[in-house]
Amino acid sequence: MLNIDEIDRNILNEYLKDSRLSFREIAKRIDVAVGTVLSRTRKMEKDGLIKNYTVLLNYEKLGYPLTAITEVTISKGKLVEVEKEISKLSPTCAVYDVTGFADVLIIGKFKNRKELSFFTKTLLALNYVERTNTHLVLDTVKEDFRMIP
């Protein structure tokens, strides 16, 4: 676990708000020197704390109105192999190892029921997948993985 201080937290918070901000703008907003922002950002990148700079998309406006959460049960100790295959499928946004009745939880985005049906059938056709249980999201109350440490 990396040890970060208040300045690092403030820098990260600014990147979470807008990853396009310049070092100069971040320095101005959090009242530190530009060199401080630059060196700390580079260190957090090197340490793997900052993995990527990206945007948040509105998937509904892009034509993906369906979100599904699928539970998958996998047999014969092939969890890792199956998870790798699932993560390659295009509608897949997240794959989680979980405790409980299912072995894996998948979050996927779909244009329509036909795509979701094809995805489910693809999952069921994978070797070692015993069963799936799919939940359709009716309303997204919050979907934001930006968390300030």
Taking only the tens place, the pLDDT of each residue in 5-42 is 999 999 999 999 999 999 999 999 999 999 999 999 99
Q: State the sign of the Cα–Cα–Cα–Cα dihedral 5, 11, 16, 19.
A: negative
Instruction: Tell me: pLDDT of 64 over 90.
Output: yes
Query: In terms of pLDDT, which residue wins out, 55 or 138?
Result: 138
pTM (predicted TM-score): 0.82
Instruction: Tell me: pLDDT of 96 over 90.
Output: yes
Correct CATH for 66-136 of 3.30.450.40, 3.30.70.920, 3.30.1330.10, 3.20.20.10: 3.30.70.920
Correct CATH for 6-46 of 2.60.120.380, 3.90.1150.10, 3.10.20.30, 1.10.10.10: 1.10.10.10
Give the whole-angstrom CA distance, residue 143 versus residue 59: 11
DSSP class of residue 126 equals S
Q: What is the DSSP string of 76-92?
A: TT-HHHHHHHHHTSTTE
